[in-house]
Amino acid sequence: MFCRGADFSRRWKVKKLSHYDKKGRVRMVDVTAKAATSRTAVAHAFIRMQRATVASVRRLKSPKGNPLEIARIAGITAAKRTAELIPLCHPLSLTHVDVNAKLCQNGIEVTSEATATGPTGVEMEALVAAAVAALTIYDMCKALERGMEITDLYLVKKSGGRSGEYNRATKRVKP
């Protein structure tokens, strides 16, 4: 049985994996010689839930308080701690992190944005922020519904650095 992304290498040109040395050992990428540039990344996640759960959140009748505001703070905090969660991520000095949670008809859409000036990108920080915000919403709402699904966690766009811009909508990288 194939996983959902099993055809990844056929659909995308896969470059060399940067976290391995010439002998195949895992390593932290050396960014010493890279120039510090302004970098921004935006990520997305979605928490699918029943309409009754959405209605309760809309009325702020979650047993634990306002899940959207707690999720926003949790996502910001998580972005700042990404290097502690993802083993080979560089610790970054973030200059800005924002997380938004928007009620939709069938769930809650989370978007996050992370910005830093440095030698490496902030994609992981944006993704961790969106993921932890989504997990926080699940935690805050699980008393109302256990069958919620966290889906569609992905990078929306990124800018800065040697690889240039990426925009999911156009699926292009502009160096």
Q: What is the pLDDT of residue 95?
A: 97
Beta bridge partners of 54: none
In a domain, 170, yes or no: yes
Q: Flag whether pLDDT at 14 surpasses 80.
A: no
With respect to residue 8, please indicate whether it lies within any of the assigned structural domains.
no
C-alpha span between 123 and 69 (Å, rounded): 23
The boundaries of the domain holding residue 152 are 35-174
- Per-residue pLDDT band at 1 (split at 50, 70, 90): very low
Asked if residue 11 has pLDDT above 80, the reply is: no
- Whole-prediction pTM value? 0.85
Write the CATH number for 134.
Answer: 3.30.70.640
Tokens 């996640």 found at: 45
Residue 152 appears among annotated catalytic residues? no
For residue 152, is it within any domain?
yes
Count Cβ neighbours within 10 Å for each residue of 114-146 and write b for 16 or more, e otherwise.
bbbebbbbbbbbbbbbbbbbbbbbbebbeebee
Q: Is 9 exposed, middle or buried (0-12, 13-18, 19+ CB in 10 A)?
A: exposed
Burial of 49 (0-12, 13-18, 19+ CB in 10 A): buried
How many distinct structural domains can be found in the chain?
1
Considering the domain boundaries, does residue 19 fall inside one?
no
Give domain status of residue 22, yes or no: no
